[in-house]
Structure 1
Amino acid sequence: MLIIIRQVKITDSSAIQQINYTQLGYNYPLAKTQTNLQHLLADCQHHLLLVAEETHTEKILGYVHVELYQETYFDPMFNIMALAVDQGQGIGTQLMLAIEAEAKKLGISTIRLNSNTKRTGAHQFYRKIGYSYDKTQKRFSKQV
């Protein structure tokens, strides 16, 4: 199977919405997924979204969403907002390598991500590709 990594297009909304549901458990409506994706794609200075596509069938096998994370107390870094693949076969690794290459091209030396404590398989994957676990946090939120 031949895979290409390319930038997300709005026409990928349905495939991304389905992957978010089956792989991440987020049952978010397609119309809202499309709207959010339009906004993210319009802000290419702060967001990068890539898909892995099987060349023969043009099926989307996974995607990664990265934001440029800037703060007053450290150098800019990439923050992985989402990584989801429909099937294994090294798709996640290829997507992460593409993000790492983009970071190097932009002079960004750090990539970070958060992963739910329940996603132990994802933790193994990240360690396998060279990421280390460096912080324990609690996430707080409030509906307003």
Structure 2
Amino acid sequence: MLRSLTMADMPAIREINAISLGYPVTLELTQRQFKKMSKSPEHLLIGFEDDSSHQIVGYIHAEVYESLYSESGLNILALSVLPDCQGQGIGKALILALEKQAKEQGFSFIRLNSASHREEAHAFYRKMNYNGDKTQLRFIKEL
């Protein structure tokens, strides 16, 4: 079942981020970031709750993407489903829910970045009609 995320879901989100995305951060950081982002209309957070366990097993997080060279769109920051729950249509349901919200809010596009080694994810995005149009390197400076 698709639903909005709550603070009570953050232990599950922390686990999904660690297992499925490779981001093993603390629960405190996850909670602090959620508290801030959930108040902002710039962030869209949708979870998928398992019907039997009532636990979040996947989620999508997007933010408004604004630039001087494009119409307004959404940038997917995370789309993740626990490995044991993959292949059941959860990722598809999350993307379709985000697309529906994007259309309702008048956004022109949805974009995302996916690491070059995540070939299964690339196949999924192509199946969902997302086109890979760039090859990029990410540069980051820790402060």
* The two structures share one fold, judged by TM-score above 0.5: yes
- What SS does structure 2 have at the residue aligned with 1:118? coil
TM-score where L is the length of structure 1: 0.94
| Corresponding residue number in structure 2 for 1:16 | 13
> Offset at 1:56?
3.2
How far, CA to CA, are the matches of 1:56 and 1:63 in structure 2? 17
How far, CA to CA, are the matches of 1:73 and 1:94 in structure 2? 30
1:52 to 48, 65, 87: 48
Q: Does 1:97 align with 2:93?
A: no
| Corresponding residue number in structure 2 for 1:25 | 22
CA displacement, residues 89-141 of structure 1 (integer Å, 9 cap, x when unaligned) = 01000000000000110111200000000111100100011111001111111
| Corresponding residue number in structure 2 for 1:77 | 73
How far, CA to CA, are the matches of 1:83 and 1:11 in structure 2? 19
How far, CA to CA, are the matches of 1:24 and 1:137 in structure 2? 19
- What SS does structure 2 have at the residue aligned with 1:42? coil
How far, CA to CA, are the matches of 2:72 and 2:108 in structure 1? 8
Q: Does 1:134 align with 2:130?
A: no
How far, CA to CA, are the matches of 1:10 and 1:72 in structure 2? 34
- What SS does structure 2 have at the residue aligned with 1:15? helix
How far, CA to CA, are the matches of 2:19 and 2:129 in structure 1? 26
How far, CA to CA, are the matches of 1:143 and 1:90 in structure 2? 37
How far, CA to CA, are the matches of 1:94 and 1:101 in structure 2? 11
TM-score where L is the length of structure 2: 0.95
Aligned-residue sequence identity (percent) comes to: 43
- What SS does structure 2 have at the residue aligned with 1:75? coil
CA displacement, residues 6-45 of structure 1 (integer Å, 9 cap, x when unaligned) = 11111110000000111111110111111011111011x2
Structure number with the higher strand fraction is 1
How far, CA to CA, are the matches of 1:77 and 1:104 in structure 2? 10
